[in-house]
Amino acid sequence: MTSKIDIFIPTLNESTHIALAVANAKAVGNVYVLDSCSTDGTQQLARDAGATVVEHAWEGYARQKNWGLNNLPFTGDWVFILDADERITPKLQRELENVAANPNAASGYYVNRLLLFMGQTIRHGGLYPSWNLRFFKRGQAYYEDRSVHEHMICDGATDYLRYEMLHVRCESMTQYIDKHIRYADLESDEWVKQRIGKSQGAQTGRLFRDMLRYRQWVRRHIWPITPFRPLLRFVYMYFFRLGILDGRAGLSLANLMANYEYMISLLYRDKMIQLREQQRESSTPPV
């Protein structure tokens, strides 16, 4: 019988995680890895673990995933998108199977993620619950066109799953910081687009339901123009959202995310200065 559920794992240099991710996902259905031409052997490790691997040159987070949704040889009725550092729990697996067998199921489902950081589960600091639309009927969802922190748009009704998946942060701190420098650079690009009127933020109403919709609207329209963002992010995470209860890991995350906000601001200001200089040069008549 053809599996009802296909697992889609996008990768780029994920040799640390990919074998375990594929082994975990195979319990649910067929596994398809879309690799962005990794240089660390991710492709072969995924094949050895039992995944179907397709390579495609990197186009950006959203566009790469949308290419996979349109081109991977899926055979199931449902797709679950899983990052290499995420794991499907046994309870979530059974829930996914029940939904896939239900003829009256919604078109897409939000899944909650529980973060494991520095060997500790993180249940505070505004990082839990963390809802993402990851499970959907094939052909009925795609990603918004955004550089980073992209979300899915579903063409039909959506609902929420009861059980959560795990987000396992086991890379080195150097890798973690390098990743967030890259994210900050991409997020600052989105701020520039917002400033010059080229952002896709108007889709927020289709992306989110209820309180999620308003939180994302604030994040994309109000937060970039709010003063003292790094300090506010730390206070919000560590005190207001009780990150202090997560011990040293909570303190480390609050500090890291405050610095992340600072990096975005620095990069944004630098890009706006460069943009204004380019505009000034283009408007200056030749001598």
* 89-141: pLDDT as tens digits: 999 999 999 999 999 999 999 999 999 999 899 999 999 999 999 999 999 99
Report pTM: 0.84
Report pLDDT for 286. 61
CATH homologous superfamily of 5-169 equals Spore Coat Polysaccharide Biosynthesis Protein SpsA; Chain A (3.90.550.10)
Q: In whole numbers, what is the pLDDT of the chain averaged over residues?
A: 90
Torsion from C-alpha of 174, 165, 189, 118, nearest 10 degrees: -20
Sign for the pseudo-dihedral over CA of 32, 37, 42, 43:
positive
The residue that leads in pLDDT, 285 or 9, is: 9
Helix 42-49 with 18-26: angle, nearest 10 deg: 30
Whether 1 has a pLDDT exceeding 50, the answer reads no
Whether 210 has a pLDDT exceeding 90, the answer reads no
Domain ranges of the chain: 5-169, 173-283
